[in-house]
Structure 1
Amino acid sequence: MNIDSRERAERFAELHREGCFLLPNAWDVGSARVLESAGFPAVATTSAGVAFSLGRPDHDFHEEKDQDARVDRDTMIRRVGEIAGELGVPLSADLEDGYGEAPGTVAETVAMALAAGAAGGNIEDFTGDRARPLYDESLAVDRIRAARAAVDAAGEPFVLVGRTDVLLVGGSLEECVRRANAYLAAGADCAFVPGAADAETIGTLVRELDGPLNVVMGLTGNALALDDLRALGVRRVTVGGSIARAMYRQLLDVARELKEQGTFSYAAGQIAQADLNDLFRQS
């Protein structure tokens, strides 16, 4: 990690120490640069957005025959490196489940993300297997512990996030709290609980967790605003693949207008070529 990358990573770690910040999710260099230009202090990747940009499905429940459709680790890390290399703000990487079950594989993935210039990354306990949607808790803890060891071995600042998908697969809040705290105890710097979207659930998590909480908004146009989340004690807010999905919604609408109506009204809302050129010329 060079001096500039280390300084960005240190700034990213500092963001997690107090207050609440919004960390929007990009999927390529262009989207990341747009978010940076809006003034966000850091940007994250979205595995869903990266997958969609490659014409692939996101990591989800799958059949064995669908495994080859998933974006592989090398492709994802390459995209992380492309984005990190073009940003002046820190980048956090969505590392899904670490691209393998074994703790050693997770450690390799985290080391690769560090080498690619990421200032942080999350490891989730979701397997994609309907028969066993989450990794066994003891194994999930070992995976976070291995990720922490990889960070420590590198000797560079890196915000490790332990993500539990308990709520997304219909599990209890009690299990969610237990897993998240176990991941924090194993070395995660922050806990990420997707599926926590109402004030009562989020408030309980803030009170019960032994570390900073990340929640994801934008999955359904949630009524809670950033000020509400800040008042609840949330430390970090991401938006997952929602920006990418909104962009693809617009693209699909444009395609339908062109094909079904043969009109071009969509062009009235486009960004001027000169404005985009100016934005992307900025260093």
Structure 2
Amino acid sequence: MTSVSPLWATVVPAAEATGFDGGAFGRTLAFTALAVVVVLAVTFAIALRVGKQAVIDVTWGLGFVAIALTAFATSGGHGDALRRWLALLLTAVWGLRLAGHIFSRSRGKGEDPRYEAMMERADGNPNVYALLHIYLPQGLIMWFVSLPVQIAMFVEGGLAWVLWIGVLLWAVGFFFETVGDLQLTRFRNDPSNKGTVLDTGLWRYTRHPNYFGDASVWTGLFLVAASAWPGVLIVLSPAVMVWNLYGGTGKKLLEKDIGDRRPDYADYVRRTSGFFPWPPKPADPSVKHD
């Protein structure tokens, strides 16, 4: 088995074949799909008990951890040890932090307005509606987005410099996501900030440091897998995550909700980058801020 050490080395020539075991990878895909079903089934049971579907937001990070653990356990004897451990640990650190943050943020609160609006549209059995319109889509996206982590357990050799660029990009994303969430939490916990817009710290350079961070984390994990063939083939997985954060249920819906509630948010949007960090434009002196 080829190692990806030392850090600066090109492990195998690009033309050299790798020992990727497609059959074993297929079996792992089945086990990780089963892990997703189990995690979401437990989540659904908890949601019924506490009376709110928002618990699935906590499960989002934990589900990726369960997938990484399952892939690691069922892929023994395959892949490079360093890449396997990196894929597992980077996913676990990201997922556990995110789950803990969302749990702390939502503890003691009622249902998320997004899920309230969805459940109001339920026709027929509300539990079946929730399974089909909340749990099934999130489970499918979770499993598909996690493909870089799963295939990283099997690929061998490859380009070490691509792997370490992936780790660096993951670290940048984790910094933006973690620090951005901490800054927003402090801002919200200060009563004097009620009704105002956070435009300092990382939020001065991007309206969504946490979403940018999330996208960077999963692009980095993709590069960890894509550093060896055939990891590059699952490029659609990070693309789905980035699209979801930028144009799907992330940035787009959140900004619409905030814009409806805070009149000075429009000026913040005008002068602050929507996703990628960038120096802000000057404030409009004609806009009055509360």
- TM class, shorter-length: under 0.3
In proportion to residue count, which structure has more strand? 1
In proportion to residue count, which structure has more helix? 2
Rg larger for? 2
